[in-house]
Amino acid sequence: MDEEVELSYENYNASDSLKLLLAPHDIPEKDIPSGFEVIGDVAHLNLLESTFPHRFQIGQVVLDKNPRLRVVVCKIGRIQAEFRFYDLECVAGEEGKYETI
């Protein structure tokens, strides 16, 4: 019984999708994001320097694989001031709509 099964993007979870996406770029598996913070329908990624250039693709995978999310943001730059403010960049979803309940 040699039946072929064809897998597509929909068959993979976020973790496996990211591994497949980043493998051709020689990103070590330990650097591949494995989690993120969620506040309402906004996900916040902290990416390493090795994965930062691929932030838009990573954000889209996170958005695709988590249907309850509306937007994915990523911290850019360094934390400033005593209240730990930092700039965010929208990497997937609705640009500039960071308010959530």
Q: Give the CATH number of the domain where residue 26 resides.
A: 3.30.300.110
Q: Is residue 2 part of a domain?
A: no
The DSSP 8-state label assigned to residue 47 in this structure reads: -
pLDDT at 52: 93
pTM of whole model > 0.95?
Answer: no
Rounded average pLDDT over 49-68: 95
pLDDT at 84: 64
Rounded Cα gap, residues 27 and 71, in angstroms: 24
Q: Is residue 99 part of a domain?
A: no
Rounded Cα gap, residues 17 and 9, in angstroms: 7
Instruction: Quote the domain boundaries for residue 24.
Output: 9-93
The pLDDT mean for the chain works out to: 88
Residue 30 clears pLDDT 80, i.e. is over it: yes
Q: Is residue 1 part of a domain?
A: no
Q: Is residue 44 part of a domain?
A: yes
